[in-house]
Amino acid sequence: MTVLSALKTVNLTLDGREIIAHEGDTVLEAALTAGIDIPRLCHDPRLKPVGACRLCVVEIEGERGLLTACTMEVAEGMVVETETDRLAAKRKTVLELILDDHRVTCPTCDKNGDCALMDYSYRYQADQFAFGGYKPGPVEPNFATGNKAIAFDPQLCINCGRCVRICDEVVMASALTFKMRAASVEVTTPFDMPLNETSCVLCGLCITTCPTGAMYDRAALGQGQIKDLEKVQTVCPYCGVGCTIELNVNRANNRIVRVTSQVGSVPNDGNLCVKGKFGFEYVHSPERLTTPLIKENGEFREASWDEALELAGRRLRELRDEHGPDSIAFLSSCRCTNEENYLMQKVARTAGATNNVDQCATTCHAPTVAGLAATFGSGAMTNAIDEIKDVDTLFIIGSNPTEAHPIIGLEMKKALKKGAKMVVCDPRKTWVAEHADIHIQHKPGTDNMLINAMMRHILEEELHDAEFVEGRCENFEAFSKNLQDYTVAEAAELCDVPAELIMRAAEMYAAGEPSSIFYTLGITEHTSGTENVQNLANLAMLCGQIGKRSSGVNPLRGQNNVQGGCDMGAMHGDFPGYQKVDDEVVRFKFAEAWGVDIPTNKGGRVTDFIEQAGDGVLRGFYVFGEDPVLSEPNQAKVIKSLENLEFLVCQEIFMSETAKLADVILPATSFAEKDGTFTNTERRVQRVRKAVEPPGQAKADWEIICLMSTAMGHPMSYDNAGEIFDEMASLTPSYGGMSFERIDEVGLQWPCPTPDHPGTGFLHAGSFTRGLGLFHEIRFREAAELPDDDYPYILSTGRTLYNYNIGNMTQKSDAIRQKQSKNFVEMHASDAERLGVANDDLVTVTTRRGEVTVKAVVGDRTRPGALWMPFHFVDQPTNRITNDAFDNITRTAEYKVCAATVKKSAEVPAAT
């Protein structure tokens, strides 16, 4: 757990220059930092150096022979020459040897413009015919033949081994290897299996590290040489990690050709997952909405912007005037920018004169916002992503990071490689569960029982941090009294977990130096979601594992901008920055800034909106970038409710299931077609940049919202997204010090109150945001719908690696569809056997809400008696059968527990 400043410095001389490096640096690292570009082909800062290409050989005084700079550690007083005639001659010959084994095809090679081999060959004037010249053989078939994401050209491969190593060391998937030896060495998969049949997760890291064009994006072949592509730096539109990516655009046809990321970028260090790397096809999908649409007689017809805006604005205004502020609602989009979320809540409160505004956090992490706000005073991830690799004990509960937040998964893998311990509490055997020191496979919906029992054990064994509890927290007496009602034995029984494991897990967490809790929707999507979160906060405070580096309570936010959506106040009770709507001073400030009276109605959440629509209370609904029909539970009820609305306007990029019910559809832009910012799960605000023009007449969302506001009677316009950000920052203390200029290259983490504030890595150092941390007495409550004789299985739902949420973006990508294109249900082998179900058979899963028929995936991932389904598919949608029971505080649905039954289907699976 070393911090940079604690490392000893080392003085050495490189090419006659005095250089200061740090203990443990290699000569190459020292040289690169000093701006000396020692040639290298097999080096990647993310990998352990192997000294394979031999280009980085340097002359070191006192050493016999040539040594590779990449493997040689610096030593005090070392004198190194990196570029001499002798070295140049050797490098030239080595390059000529490599070129003789490489199809030199620069004029037609996509990699032209980013090819290290080409660059160094030029630098040293290597002759590709020095040894006669390469004689090409067949390129296909190879292990990547037919794969839609990754292409491999063995004739371009220089056997540097980076792809093999990155798959092994960083991803820990080990899908690639070398076969044969000597000059016959070749990169392949084990037994030359097709890539999709191996442990490959299609993260494309092999492509990101390949120095030549051997590993390349299949879809980008022939779409433009890299030297002709324009790179636009922006943020990935998928999950809450918020990886910095570059959209490579071919200006000739205005298309995104591929996605790359620079090593060293924050927070992902050049690493991406399958969605970020290959999931951009949807931007150019022919299904994109290109004109405004108005529904007439049950059918959509094209309309002009003026017509559509006039209609939508007028109708919403009329409904509000006639029926009051609770009759219209605004649903903002966590997929869209901070600027757009800010505008949406502004529109709601100005033009809409209502506090009825919400976004999808309610669906997932609202319990986090509410729960942590109550305990700590601030409802966000307490620590930063780059602290993860230094965590000593990872405590992962209700989270599947290697699938849902793959880059955070990679950071955890770094910690594991450094010897970190890991406790995983998950009813399913995920990757992290299988690699954990302790895997607690508890029954879904029993988390508080488990956590209370752990805390009881910690107190009993006096493993807690008494000083921290005493000095930094309050309400400890009531809290610890509450714990007296919970025992490990009872928890073992109810959770169906060996008592021994519970105790050891608690001990392991308490003893971590430091420990860090990571949780996702397995904790929040319950009727006791907020309480679950508060209980995790209890656990952290009890053991003093918060308020310092690499510790904390870390919710992994799902959407690319759900953190931002909440930060921007797109919630009924909050202004931007979580300033309270019912706070007089705050209301006055916003009233002044916006020039209106701030509405006073209580407002509700999206789950309330749907219920109220069904009741007829809500009449007008402006839905922006959301698809409640697919993402809310109990689909039939949702559809019925929305159909009951008087007016529904959807601002969308595709004809979503919700849009199909709309009266007006406004065509909007994807993340690649507008400017703005996203805030990722570690509170980092990052720049989103326009890379391509939107299709047809689609407009940037923030522009549309302004036009809607104007059409509703409150004129609103801005010249650019930066203006919106500045306005928001001036009203939001935690964002106060930020601006587009300040975050131009790297984003900043809030709180960042002043223009010279560097942003905040981890929270609650010294004191909590609310002062003292508040212990809560949490009583265990069972889930709303438990299994019974009719519905004997517990059904949980969640995400997979390949698809994202409702799949409207990922399912447009061939690279992803090749891996996962249909819904399925995971069931335990013992249950399957009893039911006569084999792997891949069709089964019908039924709940009190409905039924779906999907493929069965039989194995031991789930517990016996439990079922698990993703919710990524429109066809046989999982949310048709989930339960619309909600958390008592945030109205978040209990997606993780409902009662179901399953039987073999009479249908025969269609040929795929």
Partner 1 sequence: MDNTTCIVDIARYFIAFCADESCGLCAPCRLGTVQLEEILNRITGGKGTLEDLDKLESLGEVVQQTSLCGLGQTAPNPVMSTLRHFRDEYLAHVVDKTCPAGVCTALLPVEVTVGKEK
Partner 2 sequence: MTDTMVESGPTISSPEDLASLRDQLAAAAEGRRRVLVCSTGCLAIGAREVEATFRSEVAAAGLIGEVDVVQTGCHGLCAMAPVAVIEPYDIVYGRNRVKYIPDVISQTVMNGDVIRRFCYGRDAAMAHVEDIPFYAHQTKRVLRNVGRVDPQRIDDAIQRGVYAAAGKALTTMAPDEIVEEVKASALRGRGGGGFPAGLKWEICKQNPGNDRYLICNADEGDPGAFMDRALLEGDPHSVLEGMIISAYAIEATKGFIYVRAEYPIAVRHIRKAIDEARERGLLGDNILGSGYSLDIEVREGAGAFVCGEETAMIASLEGERGMARPKPPYPAVRGYHGEPTIINNVETFANVPLIIDEGGGDHRLQGHQDLRPRRPGQQHRPRRGADGGDDPRHRLRRRRRNAPQSRVQSRPDGRPIRRMCARLPPGPPHRLRLAQGGRGDHGLRRHDRDGQHDVHRRHRPLLHRLLRR
Secondary structure element (H or E) that encloses residue 245, with its range? strand 244-250
51: contact with partner 2 by CB under 8 A: yes
The one among 8, 132, 181, 183 contacting partner 2 by CB under 8 A: 181
Is 795 in contact with 125 (CB distance < 8 Å)?
A: no
User: Please, what is the minimum distance in Å from the beta carbon of residue 16 to partner 1?
Assistant: 23
The one among 178, 582, 767, 909 contacting partner 1 by CB under 8 A: 178
Using the contact rule CB under 8 A, the part of the chain among 45-53, 346-354, 604-612, 748-756 near partner 1 is 45-53
**DSSP class per residue in 44-98:** -TTS-----S-TTEEEETT-SS-EETTTPBP-TT-EEE---HHHHHHHHHHHHHH
CA distance 719 to 190: 56
From the list partner 1, partner 2, none, partner contacted by residue 427 (C-beta under 5 to 8 A by kind):
none
The one among 3, 4, 6, 180 contacting partner 1 by CB under 8 A: 180
100: contact with partner 1 by CB under 8 A: yes
From the list partner 1, partner 2, none, partner contacted by residue 279 (C-beta under 5 to 8 A by kind):
none
CA angle (400 as vertex; 397, 402 as ends), nearest 5 = 135
CA distance 741 to 745: 8
The one among 23, 59, 73, 723 contacting partner 2 by CB under 8 A: 73
Closest-CA residue to 316 (of 661, 643, 712): 712
Is 418 in contact with 48 (CB distance < 8 Å)?
A: no
β-pairing verdict for 230-235 and 215-217? unpaired
169: contact with partner 2 by CB under 8 A: no
Query: Residue 2, exposed/middle/buried by CB under 10 A (0-12, 13-18, 19+)?
Result: exposed
177: contact with partner 2 by CB under 8 A: yes
User: Please, what is the minimum distance in Å from the beta carbon of residue 136 to partner 1?
Assistant: 16
Question: Of the two residues 59 and 73, which places its CB atom closer to partner 2 in the complex?
Answer: 73
297: contact with partner 1 by CB under 8 A: no
Q: Is the dihedral of CA 365, 368, 373, 379 positive or negative?
A: negative
**DSSP class per residue in 311-366:** HHHHHHHHHHHHH-GGGEEEE--TTS-HHHHHHHHHHHHTTS-S--EE-GGGGTTH
Residue 742: DSSP 8-state? T
39: contact with partner 2 by CB under 8 A: no
49: contact with partner 2 by CB under 8 A: yes
807: contact with partner 1 by CB under 8 A: no
Write the Ramachandran bin of 711: left for phi over 0, alpha for psi from -120 to 50, otherwise beta.
alpha
Is 634 in contact with 849 (CB distance < 8 Å)?
A: yes
182: contact with partner 1 by CB under 8 A: yes
Using the contact rule CB under 8 A, the part of the chain among 96-104, 136-144, 422-430, 814-822 near partner 1 is 96-104
Is 817 in contact with 874 (CB distance < 8 Å)?
A: no
The one among 158, 283, 440, 629 contacting partner 1 by CB under 8 A: 158
The size of the interface with partner 2 (CB under 8 A), counted in residues, is 10
104: contact with partner 1 by CB under 8 A: no
Using the contact rule CB under 8 A, the part of the chain among 44-52, 120-128, 190-198, 776-784 near partner 2 is 44-52
From the list partner 1, partner 2, none, partner contacted by residue 72 (C-beta under 5 to 8 A by kind):
partner 2
Question: Of the two residues 161 and 747, which places its CB atom closer to partner 1 in the complex?
Answer: 161
Closest-CA residue to 507 (of 485, 550, 546, 539): 539
Total length of the chain: 912
Using the contact rule CB under 8 A, the part of the chain among 87-95, 329-337, 583-591, 721-729 near partner 1 is 87-95
Using the contact rule CB under 8 A, the part of the chain among 68-76, 150-158, 377-385, 762-770 near partner 2 is 68-76
Report the half-sphere exposure of 574 (CA within 13 A, side-chain side): 24
Q: How far is CA 869 from the centre of its chain?
A: 19
174: contact with partner 2 by CB under 8 A: no
184: contact with partner 1 by CB under 8 A: yes
The one among 61, 75, 125, 131 contacting partner 1 by CB under 8 A: 131
CA distance 194 to 188: 9
Count of CB atoms situated within 10 Å of the CB of 708: 27
User: Please, what is the minimum distance in Å from the beta carbon of residue 460 to partner 2?
Assistant: 34
The one among 181, 595, 836, 908 contacting partner 1 by CB under 8 A: 181
Question: Of the two residues 51 and 544, which places its CB atom closer to partner 1 in the complex?
Answer: 51
Using the contact rule CB under 8 A, the part of the chain among 65-73, 236-244, 657-665, 828-836 near partner 2 is 65-73
User: Please, what is the minimum distance in Å from the beta carbon of residue 206 to partner 1?
Assistant: 18
Question: Of the two residues 135 and 181, which places its CB atom closer to partner 2 in the complex?
Answer: 181
The one among 19, 21, 53, 319 contacting partner 1 by CB under 8 A: 53
Binding mask 265-294 for partner 1 (x = CB under 8 A): ------------------------------
The size of the interface with partner 1 (CB under 8 A), counted in residues, is 28
User: Please, what is the minimum distance in Å from the beta carbon of residue 47 to partner 1?
Assistant: 14
The one among 65, 222, 595, 836 contacting partner 1 by CB under 8 A: 65
744: contact with partner 1 by CB under 8 A: no
Query: Which residue shows structure tokens 């604690």?
Result: 6
Count of CB atoms situated within 10 Å of the CB of 498: 11
Q: Kindly list the distances between the CA atom of residue 329 and the CA atoms of 12, 605, 666, 714, in Å, as whole numbers in the listed order.
A: 66, 9, 17, 16
Q: How far is CA 491 from the centre of its chain?
A: 32
Residue type, 624: F
From the list partner 2, partner 1, none, partner contacted by residue 617 (C-beta under 5 to 8 A by kind):
none
What does the radius of gyration of the chain's CA atoms come to, in whole angstroms? 28
The one among 28, 53, 68, 333 contacting partner 2 by CB under 8 A: 68
The one among 1, 7, 185, 765 contacting partner 1 by CB under 8 A: 185
Greatest Cα pair distance in the chain? 90
Torsion of CA 447, 239, 260, 693, to 10 degrees: 170
User: Please, what is the minimum distance in Å from the beta carbon of residue 73 to partner 2?
Assistant: 8
Closest-CA residue to 565 (of 700, 752, 722, 365): 365
User: Please, what is the minimum distance in Å from the beta carbon of residue 100 to partner 1?
Assistant: 7
Question: Of the two residues 71 and 800, which places its CB atom closer to partner 2 in the complex?
Answer: 71
The one among 129, 178, 191, 588 contacting partner 2 by CB under 8 A: 178
Interacting residues toward partner 2 by CB under 8 A: 49-51, 68, 71-73, 177-178, 181
Binding stretches for partner 1 (CB under 8 A): 50-54, 57, 65-66, 68, 89-90, 93-94, 97-98, 100-101, 131, 158-159, 161, 178, 180-185
